[in-house]
């Protein structure tokens, strides 16, 4: 129970990897706001059913009014905010294609959620963290940024921006004792990948030093570490959790 008494917001937590983060943080004692544009109630109910504390919130992270309301509701319900996990992104629904086939509308939609969404959530939550001169922000980037995957330019570019935001925000928030770090998962068998019949391909597996599928649960320990006092002197960093594929 390393996070007893802490309050966490996990965006994109109605399913997939975000739901695993929400469950994991709750298991460590944190009260968790389960935030998504999809119905967050099933995950929140599951947490409460396991004697945890959860608040389901339907929020579009690309909308400034909604992210402001999100922060207010979490603070009103639980009294404070300690941890923000910026996991929401357009990922599972992306059709991979060459950059020449990507439309301006598709490009802008991905940037609005994957990049502006993090900017807005950080902007909304930071006043609460600053007030208590303590806080943890964990951004979710991707190993695709390190590998420069093809047929995925909008997504890979958005995850590069997440690395950039992590470093610049860490500089701006260090004086307030707020840690900003990122996790970069490798290809993970979340519902999104399983649903579209995607499997870790032979090439990915050959390139991976630890030769098995990466599961959402494999990422949870790193997020708990970055949320806990164990990482108090770490900021502006990106932790790759990809079974050993990319290095930086």
Ligand X SMILES: NC(=O)c1ccc[n+]([C@@H]2O[C@H](COP(=O)([O-])OP(=O)(O)OC[C@H]3O[C@@H](n4cnc5c(N)ncnc54)[C@H](O)[C@@H]3O)[C@@H](O)[C@H]2O)c1
Q: How far is the CB of 137 from ligand X (least distance, A)?
A: 14
Q: Which of 21, 91, 128, 155 is catalytic?
A: 155
Chain centroid, CA 19 distance in Å: 10
CB 138 within 8 A of CB 231: no
Residue closer to ligand X by CB (options 164, 229) is 164
- Site of interaction with ligand X (CB under 6 A): 11-12, 14-18, 36-38, 59-62, 87-92, 113, 117, 140, 142, 185, 187-188, 190-193
Which of 183, 184, 238, 189 is CA-nearest to residue 212? Answer: 189
Residue closer to ligand X by CB (options 191, 217) is 191
* CB burial string 13-39: b at 16+ within 10 A, e below: bbbbbbbbbbbbbbbbebbbbbbbbee
In the sheet with 83-86, reading across from the earlier edge strand, the strands are 53-58, 31-36, 7-11, 83-86, 135-140, 178-185, 238-241
Q: How far is the CB of 132 from ligand X (least distance, A)?
A: 25
Residue closer to ligand X by CB (options 188, 235) is 188
Q: How far is the CB of 233 from ligand X (least distance, A)?
A: 26
Residue 155 known to be catalytic:
yes
Dmax (CA) for the chain in angstroms is: 50
CB closest to ligand X, residue no: 16
Q: How far is the CB of 195 from ligand X (least distance, A)?
A: 8
Residue closer to ligand X by CB (options 4, 206) is 206
Query: DSSP secondary-structure letter at 113?
Result: I
3-class secondary structure, 47? helix
| Helix (H), strand (E) at residue 31 | strand 31-36
Say how many CA atoms lie within 13 Å of 168 toward its Cβ: 9
Residue closer to ligand X by CB (options 140, 220) is 140
User: Annotated catalytic sites, by residue?
Assistant: 155
């Amino acid at each position: 129970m390393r996070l007893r008494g802490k309050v966490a917001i996990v965006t994109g937590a109605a399913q997939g990897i975000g739901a695993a983060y929400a469950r994991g943080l709750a298991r460590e004692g944190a009260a968790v706001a389960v935030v998504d544009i999809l119905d967050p109630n099933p995950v929140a109910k599951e947490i409460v059913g396991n004697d945890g504390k959860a608040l389901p919130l339907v929020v579009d992270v690309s909308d400034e009014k909604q992210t402001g309301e999100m922060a207010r509701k979490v603070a009103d319900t639980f009294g404070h905010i300690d941890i923000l996990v910026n996991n929401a992104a357009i990922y599972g629904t992306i059709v991979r294609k060459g950059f020449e086939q990507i439309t301006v509308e598709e490009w802008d939609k991905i940037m609005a959620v994957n990049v502006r969404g993090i900017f807005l959530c950080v902007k909304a939550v930071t006043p609460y963290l600053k007030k208590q001169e303590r806080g943890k922000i964990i951004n979710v980037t991707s190993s695709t940024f390190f590998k420069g995957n093809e047929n995925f330019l909008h997504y890979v570019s958005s995850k590069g921006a997440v690395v950039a935001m992590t470093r610049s925000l860490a500089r701006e928030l260090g004086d307030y004792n707020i840690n900003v770090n990122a996790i970069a998962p490798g290809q993970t068998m979340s519902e999104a990948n399983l649903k579209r019949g995607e499997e870790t391909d032979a090439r990915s597996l050959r390139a991976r030093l630890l030769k098995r599928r990466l599961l959402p649960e494999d990422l949870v320990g790193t997020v708990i570490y970055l949320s806990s006092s164990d990482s108090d002197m770490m900021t502006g960093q990106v932790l790759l959790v990809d079974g050993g594929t990319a290095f930086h």
